Chain A
Amino acid sequence: MIRIEPRANRSRAMDLGIPVLSAVIALAFAAIPLLAAGANPITAYGEMVKGVFGSVFAVSEMLTRATPLIFTGLAAALAFRAKLWNIGAEGQLYLGAMAAVAVGAGWLDLPGLLLVPLIVILGASAGAAGMAVPTYLKSRFGADEVVTTLLLNFIILIFLQMMLEGPLKDPMGLGWPQSAPILDQGMLPPLMERMRVHSGLILALVLAGVAQFMLARSVWGFRLRAVGENAAAARHAGINVKRSLFGVAIISGGLAGLAGVSEVAGLKGYLTADLSPGFGYTGIVVAMLAGLSPVGVVIAALFIASVFVGADSMSRAMGVSSFLADLVVSMSLLCVLVGGFIARYRIIRSGTGRAAS
């Protein structure tokens, strides 16, 4: 017989080691698809490392890629802490990006000192509004937020196409469905000469730090954790659960909206319907790898960004499909899930002649 029992004391080493091990195992598993595609895995891993760490430019590209993932990772981590399943970061990202170009692409010709904060605040608000709706439907009608946020992603994407062919369309865009560019003074300034990495990264890092502090030290963080661990007990202790959920929904949606702001006002300059290759969904993987810790999100985002940038460069060098990166990302999610099980429980074999004590 096999029995499963919770571990009495979880070790800190395990909490830290398991995500790292999961990432390594997922990367090792990638050898199977690499072999299937007829590539030498050792050469492929070499190309990936070179593609991420081979030059200053490569590292800056990795940091550029990590920036939106920190935002969406934080969005998922905070919401999941309160057991609010925000799977809608992808849509909220686009809401943020739409708000950014709506106000920043010439509608208001303000000096940069005013325009940049305005873009950031409006973008975050748009994302927050995108999460407020499903949270309202959850607390008012009991509609499962997993399904509503997932469906809203599709609705928002279609709305985006409508906007890009309508009110937000660039009149100078030669008919392409894209927005006008954000005014120069409205762009988030770049961090390095001739590199694409921009100050959105600084904003992401600061917010991760703030989130870490608030979660661990503030009353707000205490309430959020209490609601997530046991909503009934939290209610009994006098915590307004609905209000707490609403608060975290606003913050989570706002963070996802900032991912859109950062991509459009930090990197691309104008908005197209393919701004995000699934940053919202990948943010969930980042959050899980991070064990839902904000500082962990930064590390996990750097890892996932390395996988994407490395796989892109390996793909160009060796002709293996860059969908390999998505494979590694999804496998690391499954690995870290199993790893979390090993950290929480131990498997006891009883009746094999040896008393399990």
Chain B
Amino acid sequence: MMDLLNILMSESFWAASLRIATPLIFGVLGALICERAGVLNLGIEGIFVVGAMCGWMAVWLGAGLWGGVLVAALAGAFFGLLHAILTVPLGLSQHVSGLGITLFATSVSYFTYRTALPNVSSPPRIEPFQPLDLPILSDLPFLGPVLFQQTALTWLAIAMVGLVWYVLNRTALGVAIQAVGDNPDSVDAQGLSVYGLRIGAIVAGSALMALGGAFLTMSAFDAFFFGMVNGRGWVCIALVIFASWRPGKALLGALLFGAFDALQVRLQTEMGALVPGQVFLMAPYILSIIALVIAARSADYPRALLQPWFKGQR
């Protein structure tokens, strides 16, 4: 019990929680934007892989770190556009199209990586984002090490929470995006383009998802590995429901998940002799399912989610 308290009081634990939460913040925000516009994007897992691979490769080829972030976002946007074309004007099954995008994006990334680097035993490394060591602020007790030694991408993720909240709730565009996910007919009646809004939301959301992947190769680690995304995208899909499609609760959900994951790693080292390590590895996924089960009953799904809409056809 004392040990648990020590862990929860330690700066490194909370710093790790925020670090683990960062890719999930990007992913949940991205998925949230797509779903608010009425389209489920199961391409998220593959878009994470694309973001991780493209961002890393751009830096490796000399584009610079922010150049890599841009390339990752553009690559994510491209696969988002593909999903958008299939699901919005063509109105195809969002489930199957999303899974197709995940398979396609993953295999494109793996093939490209293998073709560019045919015979490497250990993956080449890049110089990743460094913690932003701010003078004075970094020396604050507790908060300093937790907040002010994160990399720039973590700050970008937190800023995105505010930006997405502002756009969705305080701008005409945001109101239109939410309306198109609830009642596309009314949006059409107002003379706005249902297709345009939905496609735009999916492309923007997918670009954000790719940043989550880019964080993995450019900040959390410094190289690309096969299988490194490891279900993070699917966790985001569960977290969106837990967050009832609200950016603030999405941040909270991602942080809770991050804290839980950081905790299981520490408990694993403390209690490794008593319980097999895999029990702890399983815990975050089980937690996601439990969160989903609790939230599902009261979930207030965007009313037109999963429903294709065709112009001139009611």
Contact = CB atoms under 8 A, between A and B. Distances in A.
Interface in B25-47: 42
Main secondary structure of the interface of B (DSSP, over half): helix
B238 A151 contact: yes
Contacts of A284: 96, 99
Contacts of A159: 278, 282
Interface residues of A, number: 48
Contact of B107 (A147, A158, A323): A323
A87 B99 contact: yes
A210 interface: no
Interface in A2-42: 3-5, 33, 36-37
Q: In terms of DSSP, what is the predominant structure of the interface of chain A? A: helix
Nearest to B280: A158
Contacts of B132: none
A330 B110 contact: no
Interface residues of B, number: 49
A281 B95 contact: no
Given A142-B297, A154-B231, A162-B276, A337 B289 contact: no
Interface stretch (B14-22, B69-77, B111-119, B204-212): B111-119
A161 B292 contact: no
B256 interface: no
A177 to B, nearest CB: 11
Contacts of B4: none
Interface string B152-169: 000000000000000000
Contacts of A224: none
B289 A151 contact: yes
B175 interface: no
A280 to B, nearest CB: 11
A192 interface: no
Contacts of A321: 110-111, 114-115, 118
Interface string B219-253: 00000000000110011011001000000000000
A202 B278 CA distance: 37
Given A162-B276, A281-B103, A326-B107, A155 B118 contact: no
Contacts of B293: 137, 141, 143
Contacts of B186: none
Nearest to A340: B92
A286 interface: no
A151 B234 contact: yes
Interface string A138-154: 00011110111011111
Interface in A158-201: 158-159, 161-162, 165-166
A305 interface: no
B90 A155 contact: no
A84 B107 CA distance: 26
Contacts of A141: 293, 296-297
Contact of A144 (B241, B276, B282, B285): B241
Given A143-B292, A143-B296, A162-B278, A337 B115 contact: no
Given A155-B282, A319-B118, A147 B86 contact: no
B143 interface: no
B217 interface: no
Interface in A100-157: 137, 141-144, 146-148, 150-155
Contacts of A4: 89, 91, 310-311, 313
Interface in B259-314: 276, 278-279, 281-282, 285-286, 288-289, 292-293, 296-297, 299, 310-313
Interface in B73-108: 82, 86, 89-93, 95-97, 99-101, 103-104, 106-108
B103 A150 contact: no
A327 B313 CA distance: 36
A151 B231 contact: yes
A337 B93 contact: yes
B86 A327 contact: no
B105 to A, nearest CB: 8
Given A143-B292, A324-B111, A285 B103 contact: yes
A288 interface: yes
B237 A155 contact: no
A87 B100 CA distance: 12
A37 B42 CA distance: 29
A158 B284 CA distance: 12
B296 A144 contact: yes
Nearest to A134: B289
**In this complex, which of A37, A141, A284, A321 has the most chain B Cβ atoms within 10 angstroms of its Cβ?**
A321
B225 to A, nearest CB: 14
Contacts of A333: 96, 99-100, 103-104
Given A144-B241, A144-B296, A337 B96 contact: yes
A63 interface: no
Contacts of B292: 143-144, 147-148
Contact of A323 (B93, B111, B281): B111
A337 B311 CA distance: 20
B115 A85 contact: no
Interface of B: 42, 82, 86, 89-93, 95-97, 99-101, 103-104, 106-108, 110-111, 114-115, 118, 230-231, 234-235, 237-238, 241, 276, 278-279, 281-282, 285-286, 288-289, 292-293, 296-297, 299, 310-313
18 contacts: A4-B89, A37-B115, A144-B292, A148-B292, A151-B238, A151-B285, A151-B288, A154-B231, A155-B289, A165-B278, A285-B103, A326-B106, A326-B110, A327-B104, A329-B107, A333-B103, A334-B100, A337-B92
Interface of A: 3-5, 33, 36-37, 85, 87, 137, 141-144, 146-148, 150-155, 158-159, 161-162, 165-166, 281, 284-285, 288, 319-321, 323-324, 326-327, 329-331, 333-334, 337-338, 340-341
3 pairs of A and B residues whose beta carbons are closest in the complex = A330-B103, A326-B107, A321-B114
